[in-house]
């Protein structure tokens, strides 16, 4: 289970970001309010994560606080 990710924001979209951590890019879904509080592309952040495992999907959801 992934508890948190720390890395550089590579891409911001309406519902998710791509976060680079040690050469890997993680797609992390975020709420609109969380997205509005993030720094600019290229800046580093730390996100606490919830990993959702379903039959047809494996998704990460990010939060600024635990």
One pLDDT digit (tens) per residue for the chain, 66 residues: 899 999 999 999 999 999 999 999 999 999 999 999 999 999 999 999 999 999 999 999 999 999
> In which residue are the tokens 């948190």 written?
4
DSSP 14-50: SSEEEEEETTEEEEEE--HHHHHTS--TT-EEEEEEE
- The dihedral through the CA atoms of 60, 8, 39, 47 has a sign that is positive
For the chain, how many residues are written?
66
- What's residue 1's pLDDT? 86
């Amino acid at each position: 289970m992934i508890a948190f990710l720390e890395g550089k924001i590579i891409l911001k979209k309406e519902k998710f970001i791509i976060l680079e951590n040690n050469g890997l890019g993680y797609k992390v879904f975020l709420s609109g309010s969380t997205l509005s509080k993030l720094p600019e592309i290229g800046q580093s952040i730390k996100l606490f994560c919830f990993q959702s495992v379903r039959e047809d999907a494996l998704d990460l959801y990010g939060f600024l606080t635990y």
